């Protein structure tokens, strides 16, 4: 009988191979970037201003503010992908993988903008008075061609429910359990139990409870992590130019074997850079559109601008800090992987023994917030598929899965997440291409009316 982890790995290699998802993700992001005339570069500072300074559109219909919607989406994306995902990308694909993470993030900003715009435009109000939106709604209601849209919407919702138990649940608890076991010798079952109980206290309260919590928790955790990783970069500032050289050289020529590092081909750098980049910022998956649809706004484009900053903060900022810390400290040569690699970089980059502890604590915070965001994504997807009466059973099952996720092997959980991410992305990317005309018209009309 085949090893389940090996089977999942083969499926993941096909889904993320050079002939399917990677070119589709990058080309869709590039296509939208061109159609929107580089909007993510032209409007970035304005978007950050609306997201972080204005924060709220008073009197508009919705469940949570612009800022809370952004923090809920960031809660789902700023997770183990920023600590473990970056480390596994570099360990497997070499330093060049970081370059391809950047490229995925830059074109992914246009993708994220488009997902959020369509999610708000096609959102509906359910029987409880809450907003429901996301790819399943804009696929089903926006594409009017022989039932194609409804089929794509149903498939997306199905894959999103499955993915919520991988990327948004088991991966998180698994990574935290092993990090805390390594740093503090805390049993993995104990970590799983603590995470499940803590998450349940927030998740059972619904989106308003999640929005209030993440609006405070997420900014604190991001600033704390960036301060710590930034200190590593300050102490190793002389190594930064060489590290950047490794990134650009490895992106196009691969990386030769060094120390405990086995070496990586360009294909590996692209495959793992893009896959882990998407795992981190989720641009192209469509998931963040579900949170965007809950925002209090009258203008789909305004929330889309806010949502676009999520990818910038997640990949261009936070992931870069992690990746450079791993490179400047030489941790990537030690034959380590996952959280252990990042912990090595922080332990050797900061004085004393508390560098590894910082990673373990930040990883726990990141993972916990990701569970909260993804529980909402899965909840809205199960509501779309089966109705409101299945929301509570889903929440309970999600909480229980957090505990069991802590006990599974890292390779199996990561492999499963890669497959689920890919299956989510496929119907969503098809929809974005078919609805690109709607995206462009809405965007042009908004800026013409507002003069922003």
Question: Which tokens sit at 436?
Answer: 């690109």
CATH number at residue 121: 1.20.1740.10
Taking the C-alpha atoms of residue 409 and residue 404, their distance in angstroms, rounded to an integer, is 11
pLDDT of residue 256: 56
Q: How many domains does the chain have?
A: 1
Quick check: 104 and 284 in contact, CB under 8 A?
no
pLDDT tens-place string over residues 414-449: 677 778 878 888 999 999 999 999 999 999 999 999
pLDDT of residue 196: 93
Q: Which domain holds residue 130?
A: 4-450
Entry pTM: 0.88
Terminal CA-to-CA distance of the chain, rounded, Å?
60
Place of tokens 């496929």: 426
pLDDT of residue 349: 86
pLDDT of residue 221: 87
What are residue 309's phi and psi, to 5 degrees? -70, -20
Question: Which tokens sit at 326?
Answer: 């791993």
pLDDT of residue 264: 61
Instruction: Check residue 64 and give left, alpha or beta (phi > 0: left; psi -120 to 50: alpha).
Output: beta
Taking the C-alpha atoms of residue 340 and residue 88, their distance in angstroms, rounded to an integer, is 10
Taking the C-alpha atoms of residue 270 and residue 250, their distance in angstroms, rounded to an integer, is 10
SS3 42: helix
Taking the C-alpha atoms of residue 54 and residue 50, their distance in angstroms, rounded to an integer, is 5
pLDDT tens-place string over residues 336-364: 777 788 888 888 888 766 777 887 888 88
Quick check: 143 and 161 in contact, CB under 8 A?
no
pLDDT means over runs of 10, the chain (452 residues): 72 71 85 95 91 76 78 76 82 88 92 95 87 93 88 94 86 82 86 93 86 85 89 94 92 66 69 76 86 88 92 91 93 80 86 76 85 91 93 95 82 74 88 95 94 74
């Amino acid at each position: 009988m085949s090893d389940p982890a090996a089977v999942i790995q083969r499926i993941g290699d096909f889904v993320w191979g050079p002939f399917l998802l990677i070119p589709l993700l990058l080309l869709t992001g590039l296509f939208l970037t061109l159609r929107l005339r580089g909007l993510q570069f032209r409007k970035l500072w304005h978007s950050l201003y609306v997201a972080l300074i204005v924060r709220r559109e008073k009197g508009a219909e919705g469940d949570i503010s612009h800022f809370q919607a952004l923090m809920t989406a960031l809660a789902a994306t700023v997770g183990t992908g920023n600590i473990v995902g970056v480390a596994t990308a570099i360990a497997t694909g070499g330093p060049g993988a970081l370059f391809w993470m950047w490229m995925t993030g830059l074109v992914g900003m246009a993708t994220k903008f488009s997902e959020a715009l369509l999610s708000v435009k096609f959102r509906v109000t359910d029987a409880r008075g809450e907003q429901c939106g996301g790819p399943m709604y804009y696929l089903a209601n926006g594409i009017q061609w022989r039932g194609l849209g409804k089929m794509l919407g149903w498939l997306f919702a199905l894959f999103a429910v499955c993915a919520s138990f991988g990327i948004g649940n088991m991966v998180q608890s698994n990574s935290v359990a092993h990090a805390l076991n390594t740093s503090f010798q805390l049993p993995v079952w104990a970590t799983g139990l603590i995470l499940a109980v803590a998450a349940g206290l927030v998740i059972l309260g619904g989106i308003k409870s999640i929005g209030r919590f993440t609006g405070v928790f997420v900014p604190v955790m991001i600033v704390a992590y960036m301060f710590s990783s930034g200190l590593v970069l300050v102490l190793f500032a002389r190594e930064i130019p060489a590290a950047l050289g490794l990134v650009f050289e490895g992106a196009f020529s691969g990386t030769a074997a060094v120390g405990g590092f086995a070496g990586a081909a360009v294909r590996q750098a692209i495959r793992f850079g893009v896959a882990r980049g998407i795992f981190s910022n989720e641009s192209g998956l469509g998931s963040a559109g579900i949170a965007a649809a809950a925002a209090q706004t009258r203008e789909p484009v305004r929330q889309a601008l806010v949502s676009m900053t999520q990818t910038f903060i997640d990949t261009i900022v936070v992931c870069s800090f992690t990746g450079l810390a791993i490179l400047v400290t030489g941790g990537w040569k030690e034959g380590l992987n996952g959280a252990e690699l990042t912990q090595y970089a922080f332990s050797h980059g900061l004085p004393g023994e508390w560098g590894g502890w910082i990673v373990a604590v930040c990883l726990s915070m990141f993972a916990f917030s990701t569970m909260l965001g993804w529980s909402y994504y899965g909840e809205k997807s199960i509501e779309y598929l089966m109705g409101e009466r299945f929301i509570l059973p889903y929440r309970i099952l999600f909480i229980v899965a957090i505990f069991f996720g802590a006990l599974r092997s890292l390779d199996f959980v990561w492999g499963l997440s890669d497959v689920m991410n890919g299956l989510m992305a496929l119907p969503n990317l098809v929809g974005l291409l078919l609805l690109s005309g709607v995206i462009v018209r809405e965007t042009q009309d908004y800026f013409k009316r507002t003069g922003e």
